[in-house]
């Protein structure tokens, strides 16, 4: 018996999860190698610089490397780590292709766009998150986020496949609109960019914590962070990505209101999903405003970005599963 397109799609989803998991391991190995390289290079520098320090100061001194010295001195040691980065990125690309085929097959099985319920939205949103992560590499090398981003995709895709899967069913009348294609797709794009900004903000906090340590302690603690960009650069990258995500989210909010008027005869009705979409918009609007104010740069702005994306996850999970409203399209309950 020939399996249905939906069955093949599910098999490919599990295959994509397996490949992404291997990519996650490769990116994790990269972080482990980073920590090892920093320890090795720092130890070598201390041994080499101790005689010179003694000659100058009359006593043995401990040399402390900054990030620029590490980057200049560990070119040979980093070759092994770059192999893991390349493996991780290559596996992510393979996983993305398998994931893309699975998503397309789900759409063909349903004879519509594959994002009309929680399972399908998870399938598409994680695909777009991966696509944005890969696409950003063309402008900025963010492979060091691979562990975080690919790990997030594995968790979300795995949970949705196990917990949110529903068979293909016809669309309810309110979803039979061109706005289903536009509104949800743009929301997925916004989620992807905000997710990358969230990941960079987490890394920013970790890097800020490392940079705040006494100089002599920076290479004995949080060693993997030493070869990554500084907290300020991570913050600037996060800000740029969140700006893009905020633009998409603004369009999502506007498109949702237009769709609501067409479907229910009003632009705004204080439905719980509408409220949380606006709450998320408000948080990130506050982030952008606060980021442009000198006193809200650094740690406070990073925490605000983290709170904002946490609200996105809350909206996607808790609101969809436990709050009844006009937007209850999870497909898990009748």
Candidate from 108-112, 165-169, 327-331 with smallest mean pLDDT: 327-331
* Whole-number Å distance between alpha carbons of 293 and 301: 10
Candidate from 35-39, 64-68, 174-178 with smallest mean pLDDT: 64-68
More confident of the two residues 327 and 161: 161
Q: Please, which pLDDT band fits residue 325 given cuts at 50, 70 and 90?
A: low
Q: What's CA 329's distance to the chain center, in Å? A: 24
User: Token digits for 219?
Assistant: 């290479």
| pLDDT at 331 (0 to 100) | 53
**Domain range summary for the chain, segments of one domain joined by +:** 171-334
Q: What is the pLDDT of residues 187-198, one digit of tens each?
A: 999 999 999 999
> Is the CA virtual torsion 282, 182, 128, 155 positive or negative?
positive
Judge whether 330 and 320 are in contact, CB under 8 Å: yes
Q: Please, which pLDDT band fits residue 70 given cuts at 50, 70 and 90?
A: very low
Candidate from 27-41, 130-144, 182-196 with smallest mean pLDDT: 27-41
If you average pLDDT over every residue of the chain, what do you get?
82
Q: Taking the C-alpha atoms of 145, 147, 152 and 158 in order, what is their torsion angle to the nearest 10 degrees?
A: 150
CA angle (45 as vertex; 44, 47 as ends), nearest 5: 65
Nearest to 225 by CA among 199, 204, 197: 204
> Percent helix, strand and coil across the chain, each rounded to 5?
80, 0, 20
> Is the CA virtual torsion 102, 106, 107, 108 positive or negative?
positive
First to last CA, the chain: 31
163-172's contacts with Cβ under 8 Å and 24+ in sequence apart are: 164/117, 164/118, 164/119, 164/122, 164/330, 164/331, 164/332, 165/10, 165/119, 166/117, 166/119, 166/331, 166/332, 167/6, 168/6, 168/106, 168/109, 168/110, 169/331, 171/112, 171/116, 172/329
Judge whether 78 and 38 are in contact, CB under 8 Å: no
| pLDDT at 39 (0 to 100) | 52
| pLDDT at 307 (0 to 100) | 96
- What does the pLDDT average to over 206-227? 72
Q: What is the pLDDT of residues 238-265, one digit of tens each?
A: 999 999 999 999 999 999 889 888 877 8
- What does the pLDDT average to over 85-92? 95
Judge whether 20 and 95 are in contact, CB under 8 Å: yes
User: Token digits for 76?
Assistant: 């040979």
| pLDDT at 216 (0 to 100) | 60
Predicted confidence (pLDDT) at residue 213 exceeds the cutoff of 60: yes
* Whole-number Å distance between alpha carbons of 252 and 183: 6
Predicted confidence (pLDDT) at residue 153 exceeds the cutoff of 90: yes
Question: Could you give the angle at which helices 5-57 and 78-110 cross, rounded to 10 degrees?
Answer: 160
| pLDDT at 80 (0 to 100) | 58
Predicted confidence (pLDDT) at residue 283 exceeds the cutoff of 90: yes
**Does the pTM exceed 0.85?**
no
- What does the pLDDT average to over 73-91? 74
């Amino acid at each position: 018996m020939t399996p249905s397109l939906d069955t093949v799609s599910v098999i490919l989803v599990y295959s994509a999860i397996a490949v992404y998991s291997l990519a996650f391991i490769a990116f994790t190995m990269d972080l482990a190698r980073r920590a090892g390289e920093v320890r090795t290079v720092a130890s070598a520098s201390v041994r080499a610089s101790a005689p010179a320090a003694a000659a100058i100061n009359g006593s043995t001194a401990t040399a402390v490397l900054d990030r620029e010295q590490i980057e200049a001195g560990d070119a040979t040691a980093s070759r092994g780590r770059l192999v893991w980065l390349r493996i991780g990125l290559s596996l992510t690309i393979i996983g993305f292709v398998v994931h893309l085929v699975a998503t397309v097959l789900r759409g063909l099985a349903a004879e519509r766009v594959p994002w009309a319920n929680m399972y399908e939205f998870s399938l598409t949103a994680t695909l777009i998150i991966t696509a944005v992560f890969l696409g950003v590499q063309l402008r900025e090398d963010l492979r060091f986020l691979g562990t975080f981003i690919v790990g997030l995709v594995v968790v979300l895709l795995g949970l949705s496949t196990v917990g949110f899967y529903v068979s293909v069913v016809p669309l309810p009348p309110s979803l039979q609109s061109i706005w289903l294609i536009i509104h949800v797709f743009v929301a997925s794009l916004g989620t992807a960019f905000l997710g990358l900004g969230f990941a960079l903000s987490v890394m920013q906090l970790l890097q800020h914590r490392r940079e705040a340590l006494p100089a002599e302690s920076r290479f004995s603690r949080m060693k993997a962070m030493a070869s990554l960009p500084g907290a300020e650069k991570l913050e600037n990258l996060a800000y740029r990505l969140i700006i893009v995500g905020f633009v998409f989210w603004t369009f999502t909010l506007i498109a949702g209101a237009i769709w609501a008027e067409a479907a229910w005869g009003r632009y705004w009705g204080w439905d719980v999903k509408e409220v949380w979409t606006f709450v998320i918009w408000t948080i990130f609007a506050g982030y952008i405003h606060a980021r442009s104010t000198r006193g809200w740069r650094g740690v406070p702005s990073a925490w605000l970005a983290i709170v904002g994306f946490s609200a996105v996850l809350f909206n996607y999970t808790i609101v969809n599963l436990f709050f009844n409203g006009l937007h209850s399209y999870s497909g898990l309950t009748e």
